[in-house]
Amino acid sequence: MTEEDVQAAGDLIWDCWMQGRRMTSLPPGLAPRTRAEGYAIQQRLDARSASPLFGWKIAATSKAGQMHINVDGPLAGRLLHERAVPDGGDVPFGANHMRVAEAEFAFRMGRELPPRDTPYSAAEVLAAVSTLHPAIEIPDSRYEDFTVVGAPHLIADNACAHYFVLGPAARTDWRLLNLAAHHATGKVVHPNGEWVHRQGVGANVLGDPRIALGWLANELSALGITLHAGETVITGTCLVPLPIAPGDEIDADFGILGRVSARIRPAM
């Protein structure tokens, strides 16, 4: 792809995102053929943000999630400041196509991890973390059927990033916990009082959310991208995504690690 192709593809995805429109796929000539081309297009979305990058998300961190969208491994996406919602805040429903909420472990970095030739070890990545947080992601896609377009297209689409909610930092010493065995509970309460309740565990996130964080650090390093201090990484859903609709209330309870909540703003 030429630089002009990459920019045009990024502009098209950004326009669909901002306008709540969807397309079948990127048109011929603008369609990424490799993960690297997908990430090049994704970078153009970051450049359209008015604020520094909030952080990163990881999609497809479970085998079930990978099978659902027909990919063979995780995908990284950018979290934009404009899409951050405060704990307990309102998430616009808009034209959301995926209509799900996800409960996720999130790590805020305390030191940067610059690109290098050798992979980062899990211990090195964890040593660079400042705090652990509970989080909720409300993903979405700019494709009509995001299950068939493939990894390069999904990466270009920012790995289905949309809105996210970051809870308060865990007060307990989370480094002493087995995060793979740590349970989380997600609950959605509908306006009529009915509710959906699901449980998950950290092992659903690439075997351990700390493994997912290490994957993200090394994925960025291979792309020549620094994971900066102050950036936050949400590591992928630890439970089966919860169906949502306008007016719903969402709660993700991570026990001693804290909880986070949000409301889905009814359509105007």
For the chain, list the domains and their CATH numbers. Answer: 52-265 (3.90.850.10)
**Residue-level pLDDT at 63:** 84
Which sign, positive or negative, has the C-alpha torsion 242, 243, 246, 247?
A: negative
Tell me the three-class secondary structure of the chain, residue by residue: CCHHHHHHHHHHHHHHHHHCCCECCCCCCCCCCCHHHHHHHHHHHHHHCCCCCCEEEEECCCHHHHHHHCCCCCEEEEECHHHEEECCCEEECCCCCCCEEEEEEEEEECCCECCCCCCCCHHHHHHCEEEEEEEEEECCCCECCCCCCCHHHHHHCHHHCCEEEECCCCCCCHHHCCHHHCEEEEEEECCCCCEEEEEEEHHHCCCCHHHHHHHHHHHHHHCCCCECCCCEEEEEECCCCEECCCCCEEEEECHHHCEEEEEEECCC
For the chain, give the number of residues: 268
**Do residues 132 and 263 make contact, with C-beta atoms less than 8 angstroms apart?**
no
62 confidence band (pLDDT: 50, 70, 90): confident
* Tens digits of residue pLDDT in 205-234: 999 999 999 999 999 999 999 999 999 999
105 confidence band (pLDDT: 50, 70, 90): very high
Phi, psi of 171 (to 5 degrees): -90, -20
* Tens digits of residue pLDDT in 3-50: 999 999 999 999 999 999 999 999 999 999 999 999 999 999 998 999
**Residue-level pLDDT at 252:** 98
Is the pLDDT assigned to residue 268 strictly greater than 60?
A: no
* Tens digits of residue pLDDT in 228-262: 999 999 999 999 999 999 999 999 999 999 999 99
- Tokens 């079930």 -> residue: 64
Q: Which two tokens stand for residue 223?
A: 């792309």
**Do residues 159 and 57 make contact, with C-beta atoms less than 8 angstroms apart?**
yes
* Tens digits of residue pLDDT in 143-184: 999 999 999 999 999 999 999 999 999 999 999 999 999 999
- Tokens 């009082």 -> residue: 193
**Residue-level pLDDT at 194:** 95
